[in-house]
Structure 1
C-alpha cells in the first residue's frame, strides 16, 4: 500500500437531512489522524477542506441540493485525480456519503477495471426515481454505476465509473425496494449482516478479496461509519441497529492491509453533534490505522 497520503476534507452535509456531519473532517483530524498515520511511517499531506456553500436554496430538482453537491464533487474529483498523478494515495474524510461521488470519479480515470468495497449499512443505490427522500447521500453507488441524474453521472467523465461485477457491499442491513431490485438485476455481490453472522468476517473478507483482486487493477474502499453498530459508533446520521462490531471492522481493515489491494479510500458520515466525546471519529482514525498496516506486535 502506498504511504504517501493526500488528505482531502469535504465538510458536506447537503446530501442528507441531519446537520452536523459537515463537522466530520474536523472531528477526524482532532481525533489524532495525523499522529497515527505518521507513526506508521506514512508521509501525510493535508490539502484542506473543499468549500461547501450550505446556504439554503429553493429546491429545483428531485435530488436535493443538486447544484452545490455537483460542484463540490467535481472539485473533489479533480483534486484527487491530480494527486494520484503525483503518486499520492487519496484519503477523503467527510462529510456525508454523497462525497464518494467525487472520490470515485477522481480515482476511476486512473484504472481500467476499478474495484469498489462499499462498507456500509445501506446500499446507496437509489436514483431520482427510487429515492424515498431525494437525499443524494443515498445515491452515490448508483451514480458510480452511471445511474441517476446526469449532472452527477457526468462528473469528471460520462462513462460508468465502476462495473457492477467489480463491486462488493459489506454489512448491508437497510435496503430500499428499488435498491434490492437493482442489486438483483445487476448481480452486485452483497454480504449482508446475515452472511457476516453466519460465516464470520474473516470468511467474508477473504471471499471479497478473492472475488475482486483477480479482475481489478485498483480497489477503492468507501467506509461509512454507520456500517458499525450504533452501540459502538453512535455519531452517525442514519444509524441502523445490528451492525458490524468494532473488532470485526478492525479485522476487515487488517486483512485488507495484508492483501495490499486498497488504492484509495474515503471515511464518511461522522457526525460529532450526535456523538459521545468524539468516539466515532476516534474509531474512524483507529480503523485507518489498521488499513495502513498498524499491528499490535
Structure 2
C-alpha cells in the first residue's frame, strides 16, 4: 500500500492502554482503553492495511517518593501516583519509538502525556530528529502547582513537558528533554485559567483558539502549520483530547466545555494530518466511558483515528499540502 508519492503508507503501530485517572478528580477515564478497543480501533486500523500490535495495558505503577517542596506536593492531587505513571509510560514510550513502532497511547487522562511525550522527546533527541507536538484540546494544560485552581495534574501536562522546574521531579532520574515553545501548538483552545493564560503567553507557546477556527476555518489554520512541519520533516506527536469536540457529539468526558469542534472539523484535522505523512505517535485521552452515552464518544474517537490513518470517503490519492 503506497501513498500518492510512492511511499509505503502502512505503519507498524502499537496500542498501549494507560488505565489511569489519577490526574483528575473525576473517576472513570481509566476505563478508556477498554472502550476504545471495544469500539473496534484495532480492527479498523488493520482494515486500513496497518500492522497492529496490541501490547495490552500498562499495570498500575509503584508510587515513588517525589522530592518536591511541601507546598507543591500539597497543590498536586495524587502526586506520587501520577509520578509513577509518568516514569512507567516514559520508559515504554521511549522503548517503542526506539524499536521503530508508532505508539498509540490509549487513555486515560491527559496526565499520561507527561510520560508519552517525554519518552518520544528523548527518542527524537537520541535520533537527531526534530519533534513537534500538536495539542488538540479545549484546555492549555499549562498550570503549575503555584497556579492550579483544581490541583488536578492533567492540567499541568504541557507545563511539565515545556520544562516547568517545579514539576521536573515527576520523572525521577530519567532525562527530561523540554519542548521549546516553537515545538508546541495548541489547537481548539476555549477554556483557560487567568494565571495559566499569562504563563502560556509568557512562554511563547502558540495557541489557536475556537474563535480563530470560527473566523478562519480549520483548513486555513492547519495548512501553514503542516507546511512548516513538512519543510522541517519533523516527528509529529498528536495529543488528542476528546474535550476538543463539542460535548453534544462526545459527552464522555469529565471536563466538558460547550462550543467545541464539529464532526467535520475534527475529521478534516485528522485527514490533513494523515496527508502530511508526519505523524509518528499519538495520545487519545480523557475518554470517560462512565459519562458516555452508549459508546458515542468512543466510536467517534475511533472514527477520527481511522481518518488520521488514511480512511477516506473516496478511494483517491490524498492531496499533499506542498511538495518540497
TM range (shorter): over 0.9
Equivalences for 1:147-296 in 2 at 5 Å? 147=164, 148-152=166-170, 156-160=174-178, 162-215=179-232, 217-296=234-313
Q: Give the conservation status (yes or no) of the 8 Å contact 1:119–1:221.
A: yes
Q: 1:182 to 1:211 in 2, by over 3 A?
A: farther
Equivalent-residue separation in structure 2 for 1:54 and 1:24 (angstroms): 21
In the alignment of these two chains, the number of paired residues is 293
- How high is the TM-score relative to the length of structure 1? 0.94
Equivalent-residue separation in structure 2 for 1:154 and 1:243 (angstroms): 36
Equivalent-residue separation in structure 2 for 1:142 and 1:155 (angstroms): 19
Moved more, 278-287 or 143-152: 143-152
Tell me, yes or no, if structure 1 residue 10 matches structure 2 residue 18.
Answer: yes
Counterpart secondary structure, 2:14: strand
* Structure 1 unmatched runs, 5+: none
- How high is the TM-score relative to the length of structure 2? 0.86
Q: 1:164 to 1:2 in 2, by over 3 A?
A: farther
Q: Give the conservation status (yes or no) of the 8 Å contact 1:219–1:262.
A: yes
Q: What is the deviation of 1:251?
A: 0.4
- The CA deviation string for residues 111-132 of structure 1, in whole angstroms up to 9 with x for no partner, is 2431110000000000101110
* Structure 2 unmatched runs, 5+: 1-8, 64-69, 315-324
Match of 2:35 among 16, 27, 33: 27
- The CA deviation string for residues 198-236 of structure 1, in whole angstroms up to 9 with x for no partner, is 000111111221344434631110000000000000000
Moved more, 80-89 or 268-277: 80-89
- The CA deviation string for residues 24-82 of structure 1, in whole angstroms up to 9 with x for no partner, is 00000000001100001111111111123699xxx953211111111112111111211
| Greater than 4 Å deviation, 4+ residue runs | none
Q: 1:209 to 1:153 in 2, by over 3 A?
A: farther
